[in-house]
Structure 1
C-alpha cells in the first residue's frame, strides 16, 4: 500500500464488512467520533446529525481543522434541530430505519431531548444504542461532565507517567477518549453479532473512566493481585530491565532486552559478555535492583556509535530496538509508508488531504477513504429525500430552521 489518492466512488462498498449497516451519529468532541470512525471506515452508512448553524459559532469545532477532518471521513452529514418537535420526528423516522445510534452526551441530555435508548427502542427494538460518558450513565459521578485529562488523572495514569519525582504528567495523546471510542466500537460489533441470534438490539455503554482503568492493565493488577502501588518509572519499563531510552552518537534509541535469554544476547551483541555474570546482573530481580547502574553502563557503550549502528546490531541479535521519531519522521519511516497509514483523499472545497488510516487489516478488503469529511449539512436534502420529503417540504423545514 502507499499514499496514492484513495478516493473511490461512495457506492463501491461490496467488500466492506459493514455494508448495509446504517448509523446515526450524534457525537461531538473525540471519544464518540472515534467509535463512529471505525464504523464508517468499514462500510457503514453513517449519517452525522448536527444542530443547524447558529450565530454562536460552530458547536462542532473548527470544521476545516486537521482534527475534525481526520475524525469524520467516510460519513454523510445533515443538520437537524433535535429540540424541535419536527426535528425529533425526523430523527425517530431515521432511527426506525437505523441499526446503530452513537452518542456521547452528558447522561441527562439525551433524556431531555427524548432521544435516549428507551425512546428509540420503542420505534426500533433492533436498535443498537451506543453511549460514551465521562464516568458512567449512573452512580455518584454519573451526572458529571468528563474530558480526557480528567480521566487520565482520576484513572491513575498521570500518577505513573513521567520521570520519578516529577509529579503528575499527562500522556501526549487523548488516550482515554481514544480508548473509550475503540472499546465502544468493539461493543457495537458484539451487539450487532448478538442481534443476529436474538433479533434484539441493546444499549452498549462505556466511559472515559472505565476505559482508563482498563488500560492500566498490569499496573492495575499489580495492585489488585500483589498490593503494589506503581509509581513513575520514566523511560524505564517498571518491571522489565533493561528496557528504556539510551543515547547514541546522533539521537536516542529505545531498546528492550528484559528476558534472561535476551539479556544474554544483548550483552554479547554490545560486546560485554561479562555483564551476564557481573554481580547479580544475571537475574531479573538483580537487574531491577541495579537498573540505574546498568543503564549508565549501557549508555557509556551506546553513545560511542550512531543510532543506525545499534539498530542494525540489535536487530541482527533479535533484540527489539528502534529510533525515537518525531511525528514527521514517523510518516517518513519506510515501514509506516509500506503500511499505508497516511491515506490521501480530495476534498471538494479544501483540496488534497492526508488523514490517518485505519490500523485494522482485513484480507480481501481495501480500506480506502471513500469520501472526505462532509461540510455542514451537506447531505441534509438527500437524507430527507430518502425519508420521502419532497423539495417543498424540505424548503419549509429550512424556513423554520428545523434543518
Structure 2
C-alpha cells in the first residue's frame, strides 16, 4: 500500500456530525490537511445541501453546492436518533480524536451525544460545536442562518449604497467564517492535547464570529460611539479607496497613503491638488470625501479600465478591474495559482473544486477523494469497526444505516 501524502493532520480522525455550510467548511479544511473525516448522514436524505440544486455537477445528479464543501470525507449513513445508531457512534468515538457538530443547542444531548455526556467517557476528545448563537446566552436555543446572522451581526447595516437599503454580502460569509474559526479552535485544542493529553470543548457562535470580523468598523464604533454609515464601495478610513467609473466600465482605486496619492496626482496631471489643504492628507480627504469623489470622477472617466490598470500598476498604485466569475477563472494570476482542482468522483465523472488556499511548504493540502455519494463508505467504515456483514445488513434492513 502506498503511503499517504504528507499532511499536517495525518493520523487524526474526525467524526463529522455537520451539515449545510459552516460545519462542512470546518471539516473539509481538516480533511484537506490530512485528517480522516467520517461524515454521518441521514439514511435516504443525507446532508441538506445534497438537495440544494440545480446546478448539478455536469453529467451527474450531485449538487454543486454539496460537492464544493465535502471533499476528503467518507459518507456513512446512520440514524443517530435510534439506540443502534448511537451505539455505532460510540464505537466510532473510541477511535476518533475530534467531533464536529452543528446541531441546535441541546439536540445531541437527547441522544446521549452532547459534550456533557461524552467528556468523561472520552477525556481526549476534542468536541467542536458550531451554532448560531453559541451554547450560552438568551439566544442560545435559536436556530442560526447566514442572512439572519449577517443582519444581527451588523455587517448588513454597513453594506450597501449610501441611500439604499442594507445589503448582505454576496456569499454566506457568516457560515464560512464560523467554519474557519472552528477549525482554528480545533487546531489550538489539538496542540493543547499534545501537551496535556486532555481534550476540550470548542463553542463557536456565528453571531460571535460575525462581530469579531467587523474589524475596523467595530473599532471605529468603539472609539466614537457612532454607528458607521453605509458608504457603498468607499472605505471608511481611507480616501480615495473606492469604485470609480471609467470610460468603458468601472475600476477599484486603492490609494492607501499620502505618498501614493502624490504619485496618483502626478500620473493624472492633478498636481494642483497636492497644494490644496482639502486633499493634502488622508485625514483631510476623509473629511472632504464627496469633494474628492466629485473631483476625481471625471478624471477616471477619461480612460478605459484596461488603460487605467496598466498605467496605475506601472506607478505602483493599487487598482483592479471588477471581475465577473468568468473573468476571475480566466485571470492569469488565478490560473497560475491552480485554484481549480479536478478529482475523480464515484459517479465516474471528473469534478472540479476550488483548491484549498493554505499553501504549506512541507505538508500541503491534499485532494484524496471527491465529495462522496450518499452512504458511499458505510460498509467500509462499519466493517472497520469490526462489524460483520450480517450485522451491517441488519442495520440496513432496520433503516439504521
| Band the TM-score falls in, shorter-chain normalisation | over 0.9
1:61 paired to 2:50: yes
Helix, strand or coil for the counterpart of 1:190? helix
1:154 paired to 2:152: yes
Partner Cα separation in structure 1 for residue 341 and residue 5 of structure 2:
20
Helix, strand or coil for the counterpart of 2:87? helix
1:255 paired to 2:253: yes
1:253 touches 1:323 (CA, 8 Å); kept in 2? yes
The gaps in structure 2 that reach 5 residues or longer are 52-60
CA shift at 1:17, angstroms? 0.6
Q: Which has the higher contact order (CA 8 A, sep 6+)?
A: 1
1:18 touches 1:42 (CA, 8 Å); kept in 2? yes
Q: What residue number does 2:271 align with?
A: 273
CA shift at 1:171, angstroms? 0.9
Residue number among 13, 16, 20 corresponding to 2:7 in the alignment: 16
Partner Cα separation in structure 1 for residue 341 and residue 127 of structure 2:
30
1:244 paired to 2:233: no
Q: What residue number does 1:356 align with?
A: 354
Helix, strand or coil for the counterpart of 2:94? helix
Helix, strand or coil for the counterpart of 1:250? coil
Q: What residue number does 1:141 align with?
A: 139
Q: What residue number does 1:325 align with?
A: 323
Q: What residue number does 1:131 align with?
A: 129
Q: How many residues align?
A: 392
Q: CA RMSD in A?
A: 1.6
Partner Cα separation in structure 1 for residue 386 and residue 307 of structure 2:
66
Helix, strand or coil for the counterpart of 1:123? coil
Between 341-350 and 68-77, the greater mean CA deviation after superposition: 341-350
2:7 touches 2:366 (CA, 8 Å); kept in 1? no
Q: What residue number does 2:19 align with?
A: 28
Q: What residue number does 1:112 align with?
A: 110
CA shift at 1:365, angstroms? 3.6
Q: What residue number does 2:56 align with?
A: none
TM-score where L is the length of structure 2: 0.94
Q: What residue number does 1:6 align with?
A: none
TM-score where L is the length of structure 1: 0.94
CA shift at 1:148, angstroms? 0.6
Q: What residue number does 1:88 align with?
A: 86
The gaps in structure 1 that reach 5 residues or longer are 1-8
Partner Cα separation in structure 2 for residue 304 and residue 128 of structure 1:
58
Q: Please list every run of at least 4 consecutive aligned residues from structure 1 whose deviation after the TM superposition is greater than 4 angstroms.
A: 57-60
2:20 touches 2:48 (CA, 8 Å); kept in 1? no
Q: What residue number does 2:194 align with?
A: 196
1:85-136 CA-partner distances (Å, limit 9, x unpaired): 1110110110111000000010021111221112222332100000111011
